Amino acid sequence: MKSQWKLYILIIGVFICLLFVSYFVTESTMESKEEKNYIQEEENSTYEKCPQITLKGNDIKSINGKIKELCKYVPNSSDFDFDYDSSNGSDIFSFIGLNSYYEPDASIKTYNMEIFNIDKESGEQISDEQLYERYNIDPKIVSQVIENTMQVYYEDEIKQGYLNENQCDYNCFLQVRGIDKNNYAENAKLYIGEDTVFAYKTFNIISSYADEGYYGQPIEAFRFFIK
């Protein structure tokens, strides 16, 4: 009988040890993943969890402050949303944050976007001008890519029945999207995604033509492949 009790105690002891090991392995894995991605989500008083960058450097405090501003609910607005993405390249960490909302009595959503490309070694933000030079990109290419993509969007919306070209030609389409055909790259920002160069540009994806279903998630719709 005593030997059975000893066996039970041994089994329980082993089980408890396994629970502790499992807990610490899980915690270590989460911390390792968090450290690898350089993102830590913090509780936010206005919007669920707000991401903060954990890299070290002179620019990080300022960058995290700007991210917190994006997470903040805009007073008197409706349908507030926040989304973000990040990329951990070989020597550059990139972050994009995007919020959206309707201002009072507005029919068009407001989008606010912040992109930060950070040198992982120094923790300093890299400007778009530096990225153009670093990746040997002509700014005119960015404008051309956005123009070509918007033309594809327009033609595809017609094919899928979202738009009628007799009711809305390409100039009408650009006006609905809030895009200046003389300056396609206006407010476009570069983003390095796994050592690939993208440009992000916000535009109106909700309109009276009820075609927002065509574009899906804004943070994906606003992305343009450059190089």
> What are the boundaries of each domain within the chain?
1-37, 39-125, 127-227
Query: Would you say residue 34 has pLDDT above 50?
Result: no
CB atoms within 10 A of CB 11: 10
Give residue 16's pLDDT.
55
Q: CA-CA distance, 74 to 80, in Å (whole number)? A: 7
Is 210 a residue whose pLDDT tops 90?
A: no
pLDDT surpasses 60 at 192: yes
Reported as a single tens digit per residue, the pLDDT across 69-106 is: 999 988 889 999 999 999 999 899 999 999 999 999 88
**Tokens (6 digits) for 21:** 């090991």
Convert the pLDDT of each residue in 18-29 to its tens digit. 444 344 434 433
In angstroms, the CA 213 to CA 38 distance is: 32
Q: Which long-range contacts (CB under 8 A, 24 or more apart) does 99-107 make?
A: 99/70, 99/71, 99/74, 100/218, 101/74, 101/77, 102/77, 102/78, 103/74, 103/76, 103/77, 104/76, 104/77, 104/78, 107/208
Mean pLDDT of the chain: 86
What pLDDT was estimated at residue 208? 85
pLDDT of residue 2: 46
pLDDT > 70 fraction of the chain, expressed in percent and rounded: 82
